[in-house]
Amino acid sequence: MAISFADVVLAGEILLLTGAGLVVFSILRHRVKQLSLWKIPGPPSRSLWSGNIRQIFHANAWSYQEELFQQYGSVLRTTGLLGDIRLLVSDPVACTTILLKEQDIFEETPWFTETNRHAFGPSLLSATGAAHRKQRKMLNPVFSIKHMRHLIPLFQNLTAELRDILYARTEDGTTDLNMADWFSRLALELIAQGGLGHTFNTMNADGKGGEFSRAVKEFSPSLSKVAPWRPLFPLISTIIPPKILRFGAMCLPWPDLHNLIRISDEIHANASAIFEKKKALLNEGDAAFMDQIGEGKDIITILLKANLNASEQDRLPDEQILSQMSMLLFAATDTTSGAISRIMQTLADRQDIQEKLREELTEAQDKAGGRLGYDELTYGLPYLDAVCREILRIHPPVPLVQRMCQADTTIPVSTPIQTVDGPIKSIYVPKKTTVMVNVRAINRDPSIWGPDAAELKPERWLSPLPETVTQARIPGVYSNTLTFFGGGHACIGFKFAQLEMKVVLAELIPHFRFYPDKKQEVFWRFGGIITPGVRGSTVVGPQMPLIVERV
């Protein structure tokens, strides 16, 4: 019997309807499983389609988030797409379960890992479970103090380039500069040289540094344009093969997506070229690296060498090492440049802190007869350390981290939650529930840090921390905060970032005074990684106007 066109259409319609029916069924089943979460207090949903998502992730979400914490406490219910319930959590006991005790259950969300896999390849940002642990096993030692020490002269030389630029610009007295742009160029060059042994030449006057650096700089702004659609990506990418998916994406009338694909291709092509060159140098032996940037002490060269000597079982395939290169450029740039910009803004607003820091740094440099080494920067400058810790506590560059529950489980909490059925000490969390860890809220919780939790007080780090802080046992890798997160996915580059910040402050603060530019209002855009901007400005990219004056 011949099959007519009408039969094919009918079969297609049946298939589509069945697919849609399955999706509706699985959504309804999930909503039923989440019913018990409704009793946890939380804000009413603002939209049937997007719940509270727009308010929570709004560029100006700061006060909304603070209100939520004031009104509902450290564990609350919020609504996501189509009535999906999501928990917003900053309770330390709950966070310990999510980050440490049940970290295999509370994994990165599929939209985060899938979009990162398509953007960078199979790197740390797309791996979960055993595959992720295997990558961390090879990468953790590369980020150890032993290797970070060697990066200090490189960090100092690059910051000295910025210092020379600032000297030239302040020849006639003070100058008004967008320092966020300079810190972003510096952070990019630091990870390019320290991470990849490559230069983008971003510290030259025009800062353009070629196609590769332009692509890296454009990546985050382009990603943010398609960000609202990221949660839908895993639904499509698991059923459509990558090549067809890419072809389909290029056929869509969606210039932002085309741009993102073009940028990620550009980054991949350039990273591949650097990778091949490194492998060729490795075959020639250690001496071949001596005339290379970083002399073979950069992260990827160390990783390649360690990988060569690793056991068969631990060795990572080339594709995974290559994808770490693109991923590192992304993970290390906006986070660190944002942190440095925030520190400088705070110092500009608080001249008393800036002056005290200058005194400590100048005295230490006079004593050392010049530049400071790793031990002095890390252990010998208590006020510098306190300033960095305090600003990173109050203003974490990554204010909220999301996880998705991979199996039904329960989360205990430190303070009982008052529900309509009475107080509860643990929450049943069904599989596929998104949990948002509120880093900023736990870092500023007055029940942990005291009534002055939201105030900037570097001095709090100069004497033993109160018992409320130590007993809270916050599961973070850095100074009782979640700024660099905790558990298996904690920031691998946190020592790298700390050193960067300290070197930049040590090299700039003794030579320049920074003041706020009162003519322009700086605001911070809430997001995956927060960025500074100027109110009313149309400039794309980070902005932090500061007045700079020679000391």
Kindly state the tokens that stand for 107. 């994994």
Q: Which is nearer to ligand HEM, 268 or 395 (CB)?
A: 395
Query: Minimum distance from CB of 92 to ligand HEM (Å)?
Result: 16
Q: Which is nearer to ligand HEM, 72 or 526 (CB)?
A: 526
Q: Which of 152, 158, 332, 347 binds ligand HEM (CB under 6 A)?
A: 332
Residue 89, H or E segment: strand 85-89
Q: Which is nearer to ligand HEM, 216 or 491 (CB)?
A: 491
Q: Which of 136, 208, 246, 305 binds ligand HEM (CB under 6 A)?
A: 136
- Regarding 336 and contact with ligand HEM (CB under 6 A), the answer is yes
Which positions ≥6 away from 450 have C-beta within 8 Å? Answer: 466, 468
Residue type, 209: G
Residue type, 305: K
Kindly state the tokens that stand for 294. 């970083």
- Regarding 203 and contact with ligand HEM (CB under 6 A), the answer is no
- Regarding 270 and contact with ligand HEM (CB under 6 A), the answer is no
- CA separation for the pair 161, 209 (Å, rounded): 15
- Regarding 304 and contact with ligand HEM (CB under 6 A), the answer is no
380-399 footprint of ligand HEM as x/- string (CB under 6 A): -----------------xx-
Query: Minimum distance from CB of 63 to ligand HEM (Å)?
Result: 22
**Nearest residue (beta carbon) to ligand HEM:** 493
100-119 footprint of ligand HEM as x/- string (CB under 6 A): --------x-----------
* Interface segment toward ligand HEM; rule CB under 6 A; list 54-62, 229-237, 256-264, 492-500: 492-500
* Interface segment toward ligand HEM; rule CB under 6 A; list 19-27, 169-177, 327-335, 511-519: 327-335
- Regarding 483 and contact with ligand HEM (CB under 6 A), the answer is yes
Which positions ≥6 away from 322 have C-beta within 8 Å? Answer: 121, 271, 272, 275
CA dihedral over 376, 137, 393, 472, signed as positive or negative: negative
- Regarding 491 and contact with ligand HEM (CB under 6 A), the answer is yes
Q: Which of 75, 271, 347, 497 binds ligand HEM (CB under 6 A)?
A: 497
Phi and psi angles of residue 174, each rounded to the nearest 5 degrees, phi first: -85, 160
Give the residue from 392, 442, 414, 421 showing the smallest Cα distance to 89.
Answer: 442
DSSP count for the chain of H helices, then E strands: 21, 12
CB 522 within 8 A of CB 534: yes
Q: Which is nearer to ligand HEM, 327 or 522 (CB)?
A: 327
- Regarding 300 and contact with ligand HEM (CB under 6 A), the answer is no
- CA separation for the pair 413, 92 (Å, rounded): 8
Query: SS3 sequence, 412-470?
Result: EEEEEEEECCEEEEEEEECCCCEEEEEHHHHHCCHHHHCCCCCCCCHHHHCCCCCHHHH
CB 171 within 8 A of CB 160: no
**DSSP summary character for residue 549:** E
Q: Which is nearer to ligand HEM, 27 or 293 (CB)?
A: 293
Q: Which of 331, 343, 503, 505 binds ligand HEM (CB under 6 A)?
A: 331
Give the residue from 168, 506, 198, 475 showing the smallest Cα distance to 364.
Answer: 506
The neighbouring-strand residues paired with 524 are 532
Query: Minimum distance from CB of 331 to ligand HEM (Å)?
Result: 4
Q: Which of 148, 154, 400, 401 binds ligand HEM (CB under 6 A)?
A: 401
What are the CA-CA distances from residue 462 to residues 127, 322, 381, 389, 457 (Å)? 39, 42, 11, 11, 10
* Interface segment toward ligand HEM; rule CB under 6 A; list 7-15, 48-56, 156-164, 482-490: 482-490
Q: Which of 496, 512, 514, 526 binds ligand HEM (CB under 6 A)?
A: 496
3-state secondary structure (DSSP) of residue 332? helix
Give the residue from 201, 239, 235 showing the smallest Cα distance to 217.
Answer: 201
Residue type, 16: L
- CA separation for the pair 11, 3 (Å, rounded): 11
Kindly state the tokens that stand for 65. 């988030």
**Chain centroid to CA 82:** 27
Query: Minimum distance from CB of 144 to ligand HEM (Å)?
Result: 13
Q: Which is nearer to ligand HEM, 126 or 170 (CB)?
A: 126
- Regarding 323 and contact with ligand HEM (CB under 6 A), the answer is no
Q: Which of 105, 180, 328, 547 binds ligand HEM (CB under 6 A)?
A: 328
Query: Minimum distance from CB of 124 to ligand HEM (Å)?
Result: 4
Query: Minimum distance from CB of 484 to ligand HEM (Å)?
Result: 5
Q: Which is nearer to ligand HEM, 332 or 448 (CB)?
A: 332
- CA separation for the pair 209, 400 (Å, rounded): 32
Q: Which of 85, 124, 427, 436 binds ligand HEM (CB under 6 A)?
A: 124
- Regarding 156 and contact with ligand HEM (CB under 6 A), the answer is no
- Please count the other Cβ atoms lying within 10 Å of the Cβ belonging to residue 218: 18
**Chain centroid to CA 182:** 19
433-472 footprint of ligand HEM as x/- string (CB under 6 A): ----------------------------------------
Query: Minimum distance from CB of 325 to ligand HEM (Å)?
Result: 11
Query: SS3 sequence, 381-420?
Result: CHHHHHHHHHHHHHCCCCCEEEEEECCCEEEEEEEEEEEC
Residue 429, H or E segment: strand 422-429
- Regarding 158 and contact with ligand HEM (CB under 6 A), the answer is no
- Please count the other Cβ atoms lying within 10 Å of the Cβ belonging to residue 185: 26
* Interface segment toward ligand HEM; rule CB under 6 A; list 5-13, 231-239, 422-430, 486-494: 486-494
Q: Which is nearer to ligand HEM, 166 or 504 (CB)?
A: 504
Site for ligand HEM in 163-202 (CB under 6 A): 191, 195
Helix extents (H) in 170-294: 179-191, 210-226, 233-237, 242-251, 255-284
Interface with ligand HEM (CB under 6 A): 108, 124-125, 136, 191, 195, 328, 331-332, 335-336, 339, 397-398, 401, 483-485, 489, 491-493, 496-497
